[in-house]
Every structure is written in C-alpha cells, then in structure tokens.
Amino acid sequence: MADYDLFNGDADGICALIQLRHAEPRDAQLITGVKRDIDLLKQVDAVAGDRITVLDVSLDTNREDLQRVLDAGAEVFYVDHHFAGAVPSSSGLKSLLNEAADVCTSLLINHYLRGAYAQWALVGTFGDNLKKTARGLAKNLDISADQLGLLECLGRYMNYNGYGSDVSELHFHPSALYTAASAYDSPLHFIADATETFEQLEAGYHEDLTAAQAIEPLQSSDKVALLLLPNAPWARRVSGVYSNDLANQHPDRAHAVLTEKADGHYLVSVRAPLNNRQGAAALCRQFSTGGGREAAAGVNDLPAERLEDFIHAFKKAYL
C-alpha cells in the first residue's frame, strides 16, 4: 500500500495540502507541477489499499484515471472547485466539490477541518484572488491589518510561482515550496523565518509584473480587454497574476491575457469581471485544452488558427 498527495502547484493547491497534512499527517508521495499541469492521476499506478488525495485539479480532466484507480481498489479523497461533471459512484471515493465562484479548495479544506489552520486557508484564498471572501474569513481571526497584508502578499506570490511552461521556469518547484512552507503551522512564521524564499518570490513577482504592465493592450473597452504577452519565461510566469491584477483594477471588465508560445500557439488566461464572476469556464471549455472555474479559467494551447474564434467567443460572452 502507498499514499499519494496530488495537488495543483499554485497557492490554493499548496495551502489546501498544508492544512490537511497538519491535521492528518501522512508520509505520501507528492505529485504536482506547474499550475496548468492538472492531469495528475495518470501518474499513479494504483493498487488495492492505496490512499490517494487529490486537491485543486479538475475531476473532469482526471475522470478516466480516477475511475481506473478506484477500480484498482484505491481510496480517493477528492477536493476541488473547478468544473467536475458527473462524479463517479464508488464506495472508495470521498469528494468535496463546490464550483461556486467565491469558493476555492483551501476554503473547502478549511471548512472540513473546522478552521484548524485558517491562516493557511487565507493564503490560498488570496492566491485565487478571492479577496472579499478572504477578508470575510479574516474577521474571525486574531490578526492585525499588517499581518493580513502579509498573508495576501504570500498568497499572490505563491500563486505567481505556479505559472510557467514547465517547472524549470519557476522560482521554486511546487513540491519544494510545499515542503518548505508545510514546516510551519502559521504562514506568518514561515514569512518571518524563510525570508530568502519570500523575498525571492516578491522580487520576481514585481519584476515580471512591471514588464507586463509596459505592454499596450491589443483591444480595450469598458467591457473587455485583450492583451498579448511575448514568448518569454517572464511572460508565462506573470500571465495569471497579471490577469488577476487587471481584474482588481477594472472590476466591471472581463480580461483575456494571451501569451505567445514557441510553436506559434497561445496560452490563455481569462478573468470574468469581479462584479459578475461567471462564464469563464464555459468560454474556455469551448476549446479543446480549456477549462477552469466560473470566475477564472484558461486555455492551455490555443492554436493560432483559432485565435479569431477565441476573440469572437470572448466578446460574445462579455460584451
């Protein structure tokens, strides 16, 4: 028998697992990758009695392999907030699934654990750009405004660290960042003690964001904005958090940030308007490598010949 922990390499996935393993320690094999690497269950060759935890990756994307490991006799605990589709019926599956726009996996785990490690839930929630939800959760915690600001920054920086074409483009491998952060019950202790890690993420975030902000939009109006970033590691690293930054600045506008790929295709990040957090997942699922959640979604590989189709669909969804 073996234990496996599968998790998204962004702030939400990492912080969900930190909470869970503080409450339920387990020496498990870690399986993760860049934020867009969500087809993770294919890496598990399960046998009867294996225990598999899956956090913050789409059940719909992993459906075939989920059924495979369940058929092999594994026990699966699946927690997520992305589009799931039909959930397999199996005595070996326990799931916590909620696709509401103001929910993330860290919040689902926080509820499951009755708030035992709520500061880490805050970090994951801020990382998913659910600021209003995070601040509501913070009202029940004994932390200062300055401490809340630090947790928001950590969430943003951890989320930023998850973006790239592969782990070589990241500042830290998500499993290494999880291992470092999970040594601390409180993210405030992590920030205070692991200063080099925090400062490296902070410096990289600001450098990459400054480069993105210097690029003029392809198209922009009160309702929608399309931006094109170049084929460069910094652009891939910042694409998601820049989308969040734009959404925060223009809460009534939908945003699509397209990043050029080496083969001429595009990586796409979509953010629904903060004041109308819906439609992003349905939009992106119109394309073969698209998915996500109501407020934030993306397309991993948009062929160049489908660029105009995407732009038309984006405008149709939000104009």
CB 9 within 8 A of CB 174: yes
Separation between Cα atoms, residue 22 and residue 2, nearest integer Å: 19
Helix (H, G, I), strand (E, B) or coil at 208: helix
Residues 167 and 230 in one domain: no
Residues 237 and 284 in one domain: yes
Domain boundary among 167, 201, 235: 201
Cα–Cα distances (Å) from 267 to 28, 163, 237, in that order, read: 32, 11, 11
Residues 84 and 50 in one domain: yes
CATH number of the domain to which 231 belongs: 3.10.310.30
List, in order, residues 6 or more apart from 203 with CB less than 8 Å away. none
Q: In the chain, where does DSSP find H-type helix?
A: 11-23, 63-71, 105-112, 118-127, 131-138, 145-161, 174-181, 187-193, 195-213, 233-249, 280-284, 307-318
Separation between Cα atoms, residue 68 and residue 164, nearest integer Å: 29
CATH number of the domain to which 105 belongs: 3.90.1640
Residues 75 and 182 in one domain: yes
Domain assignment present for 155: yes
Domain assignment present for 208: no
* Confidence (pLDDT) at 200: 98
* Confidence (pLDDT) at 221: 96
Domain boundary among 201, 235, 267: 201
* Confidence (pLDDT) at 279: 95
Separation between Cα atoms, residue 102 and residue 128, nearest integer Å: 10
Measuring CA to CA, which residue among 310, 300, 296 is closest to residue 246?
A: 296
CB 53 within 8 A of CB 20: yes
* Confidence (pLDDT) at 166: 92
**DSSP letter at 171?**
S
Residues 62 and 107 in one domain: yes
Domain assignment present for 49: yes
Residues 142 and 233 in one domain: no
CB 226 within 8 A of CB 217: yes
* Confidence (pLDDT) at 177: 98
Residues 177 and 255 in one domain: no
Domain containing 150: what range?
Answer: 3-201
Q: What angle do CA 16, 128, 281 make, to 5 degrees?
A: 110
Residues 169 and 234 in one domain: no
Domain assignment present for 207: no
Residues 223 and 189 in one domain: no
Domain assignment present for 209: no
- Which residues partner with 266 through β-bridges? 260, 302
Beta sheet of 296-302, edge-to-edge order: 219-220, 224-229, 254-260, 266-271, 296-302, 290-292
* Confidence (pLDDT) at 15: 98
Residues 176 and 242 in one domain: no
Domain assignment present for 97: yes
Residues 187 and 241 in one domain: no
Domain assignment present for 211: no
Buried b (16+ CB within 10 A) or exposed e, 259-284: bbbeeebbbbbbbbbbeebebbbebb
* Confidence (pLDDT) at 241: 92
* pLDDT averaged per 10 residues in sequence order, the chain, 319 residues: 97 98 98 95 97 97 97 98 95 97 97 98 97 96 97 98 95 98 98 98 97 95 97 95 94 97 95 95 95 92 97 96
Residues 248 and 109 in one domain: no
Look at phi and psi of residue 213 and say left if phi exceeds 0, alpha if psi is from -120 to 50, else beta: alpha
Q: Domain tally for the chain?
A: 2
**DSSP letter at 222?**
S
Kindly state the tokens that stand for 249. Answer: 């600045």
CB 104 within 8 A of CB 130: yes
Domain boundary among 201, 224, 258: 201
